[in-house]
Structure 1
Amino acid sequence: MKWGLALLALTTTACDSRPDQWDAFVYPNRNDLTKHEEIAGFKTFELCQQAAIDRLRMLADPDGGDYECGYKCEPRADLGGINVCKETRK
């Protein structure tokens, strides 16, 4: 299970085995970060951010959701499969 909140908390851990790419994490309910949609594979933060914002706008309650973009994210088996990113931004 992926935990969005842990993604925020673990951004200082470097994961250098992935190619340079940004992944978007869209949370339909900003109060429940355990449920999210991942959109992977952007070359720049700006492309990731735009895709995340566009996806948020498609939700039934766009103002109730949130997003973040992570750089070089990958699941960590030693953390139960939680995504860990080298960097995250909004």
Structure 2
Amino acid sequence: MEAREDEAEGADILMVKPALPSLDIIRLLKNQTLLPIGACQVSGEYSMIKAAGYLNMIDEKKVMIESLICLRRAGADLIITYFALEAATILRGE
């Protein structure tokens, strides 16, 4: 497994991208290493949610928060996302 090689070479964190299609990989890594697991939501994931929200196909804010919760539940210790500012504002209740 490439992650084991990265860990053996001194990696500080294991980063997975794209994040949402890789929930199973995030969980697998979380179960097999003590390193922090990072998940990077790429621009396509962001655009997909924004476009569906714009077209009123989904509740954009609920889907955005759910996508981040899914990453956390899968085992991500760190999430990199274009939604960071918006999510922080929503989660603070503003």
Q: TM-score, normalised by structure 1?
A: 0.31
* Greater fraction of residues in strand: 1
Q: TM-score, normalised by structure 2?
A: 0.30
The one of the two structures with greater contact order (alpha-carbon pairs below 8 A, sep at least 6) is: 1
* Greater fraction of residues in helix: 2
Whichever of the two has the greater Rg, that structure is: 2
